[in-house]
Amino acid sequence: MSTALAVGSGLCWTLAYLLIIRVGLREQTYGMPIVAFAANISWEFLYSFVRPSNGVQHVINIVWFLLDCVIGYTIVRFGPREFPYLSRRVFYGCFAAMLVLAYPAVNLVGTQFDAGSGVYSAFGMNLMMSALFLAMFTARPAGRGQSVGIATAKFAGTALASGAFAVRSDLAARYHGGLLPYLYVAIFVLDLVYLALMLSLRAAPAPAPVSSAAGQPTITRARIDEPADVDSGR
């Protein structure tokens, strides 16, 4: 049961990464918050190559790391245009600093809280990521760089991962206390809110063009709808 849930989680998160890459390339932006990306790729590198996970999770981690490298390309390629008030040198310097600081943070959380297994760091990072996706939704007009498909795959992937750990009775003694259950519930709630917001954005009618004082139509920023084929797998 736990293995099936873990595989389902891996597939859903893989789909989320693929959709993030697709939407990012299509809309010439990045689809994962930069701070979340720095923590994410650090965790995947750590548990793919430095302290590799066991079994199928190791393969999943490597696939995620490779996909995250492509997401990193979209950040490098399109990230500066999201911060027009920063020079490219400052943007790339800040991005590099985030990567440098994220790796030891993920490593230290893993070694000090769960003997290097990465469980607390993974779910803690997921909670941060869920909050940052909500922040990105509010910061970007019309959900640019995001989609219902991404929100759905992210929601399902983390929910299945929570279930995979929750059903394992052998972990009850090792991960006792209320921290992990809190993380499961908090991530579930934030991801559900994010999915609901993306669905409401899709359902909202596009704004009508506004005429200028001279009687000529002016161009307004229309809502960016995701093509139906992006979500066809959901």
Q: Considering the domain boundaries, does residue 69 fall inside one? A: yes
The reported pLDDT for the residue numbered 208 is 55
- Which spans in the chain are helix H? 2-27, 34-45, 56-78, 88-114, 119-139, 148-166, 179-203
CB-facing half-sphere around the CA of 34: CA atoms within 13 A: 22
167 domain residue, yes or no: yes
Whether 31 contacts 17, CB under 8 Å:
no
DSSP 208: P
pLDDT along the chain (234 residues), means of 10: 87 96 96 96 95 87 96 97 95 97 94 84 94 95 91 96 81 73 95 96 63 47 43 42
Output the six-digit token pair for 120: 């607390």
Domain total for the chain?
1
- Whole-prediction pTM value? 0.84
With respect to residue 123, please indicate whether it lies within any of the assigned structural domains.
Answer: yes
Asked if residue 216 is part of any domain, the answer here is no
Tokens of 54: 């066991």
| Residue 211 lies inside a defined structural domain of this protein | no
Let me know if residue 215 belongs to a domain.
no
Task: Tell me which residue range forms the domain holding 161.
Answer: 2-204+225-231
| pLDDT reported for residue 230 | 41
Q: Is 212 a domain residue?
A: no
Among residues 142, 148, 143, 156, the alpha carbon closest in space to that of 229 is found at: 148
